[in-house]
């Protein structure tokens, strides 16, 4: 086994056996003076480094224990789909978790121990970004799926498309994430957390947009977003599948 595989197993065991010491709470969106995506610390250094996907593949072995080797995450939304995500977004989120700006007790020990240097953040992000987006992911499966997706489409066109793009491709330079191929339950959980002020590293512009949405509207938007695909970025269909 490689050293990162052994580390992943050790961290998994530790996470199950006892809670890791959490990151110190850094002032988030609920605090006065919060600046979304402040250009400081290791994030800035990692963003200015050229990531090496070859090295990042080895570092990613730790991440693959939860997010799967393909970067597909879990269809039940417990772990997000990462493959194809913008390197800028990945670096920002990892740095936020490591610094205590984004609360994620499960992810924290992995982010803190597996990627010690800014170069490792850049390498891992470059590798994840290079992965194709799996077409099979968790979608809204209620009997009213068609109606929910249609309603979500209208809401998305009105207020989400300008930032996240026609195909859910996001914007690398502005740190807006790829949402195409993301799992419905993960999308719903994150948008609910942002609306309710529980995602402390949220973009204030998104909070303003999403604050007025009802639970039913969030279900619809999540259902639509989970149905999106990015032409040219999706993995090729496996033999026997269309």
Cβ within 8 Å of residue 241, ≥6 positions away: none
Contact 218, 188 (CB under 8 A): yes
Question: What is the topology classification, in CATH, of domain 3-130?
Answer: Cytochrome Bc1 Complex; Chain D, domain 2 (1.10.760)
pLDDT value, residue 126: 98
pLDDT band at 240 (very low <50, low <70, confident <90, very high): low
Q: Matching CATH topology for 3-130 and 145-226? A: yes
Q: What is the mean pLDDT of residues 6-16?
A: 47
- Coil, helix or strand at residue 133: strand
Give me the half-sphere count of Cα atoms (radius 13 Å) on the Cβ side of residue 112.
19
CATH superfamily of 145-226: Cytochrome c-like domain (1.10.760.10)
| C-alpha–C-alpha distance, residues 87 and 93, integer Å | 10
Would the pTM of this model clear 0.85, i.e. be above it? yes
Burial 78-94 (b: 16+ CB within 10 A, else e): ebbbbbbbbbbbbbbbb
- 224 within 8 A of 149, measured Cβ to Cβ: yes
What residue spans define the domains of the chain?
3-130, 145-226
52 DSSP assignment: -
How confident is the model at residue 21, as a pLDDT?
61
User: What is the per-residue pLDDT across 177-226, written as a single tens digit (0 to 9) for each?
Assistant: 999 999 999 999 999 999 999 999 999 999 999 999 999 999 999 999 99
Q: How many whole angstroms separate alpha carbon 215 and alpha carbon 230? A: 27
């Amino acid at each position: 086994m490689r050293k990162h595989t052994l580390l992943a197993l050790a961290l998994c065991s530790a996470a199950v056996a006892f809670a890791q010491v959490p990151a110190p709470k850094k002032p988030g969106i609920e605090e006065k003076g919060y600046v979304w995506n402040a250009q400081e610390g290791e994030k800035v250094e990692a963003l200015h480094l050229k990531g090496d996907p070859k090295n990042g593949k080895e570092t990613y072995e730790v991440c693959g224990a939860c997010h799967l080797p393909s970067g597909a995450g879990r269809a039940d939304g417990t772990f997000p789909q990462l493959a194809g995500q913008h390197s800028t977004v990945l670096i920002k989120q990892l740095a936020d978790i490591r610094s205590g700006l984004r609360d994620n007790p499960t992810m924290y020990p992995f982010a803190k121990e597996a990627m010690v240097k800014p170069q490792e953040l850049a390498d891992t992000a470059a590798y994840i970004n290079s992965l194709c987006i799996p077409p099979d992911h968790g979608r809204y499966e209620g009997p009213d799926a068609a109606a929910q997706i249609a309603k979500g489409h209208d809401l998305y066109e009105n207020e989400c498309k300008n930032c996240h793009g026609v195909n859910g491709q996001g914007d690398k330079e502005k740190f807006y994430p790829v949402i195409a191929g993301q799992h419905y339950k993960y999308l719903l959980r994150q948008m609910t957390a942002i609306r309710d002020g529980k995602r402390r590293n949220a973009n204030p512009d998104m909070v303003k947009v999403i604050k007025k949405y009802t639970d039913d509207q969030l279900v619809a938007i999540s259902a639509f977003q989970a149905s999106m695909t990015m032409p040219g970025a999706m993995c090729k269909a496996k033999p026997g599948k269309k």
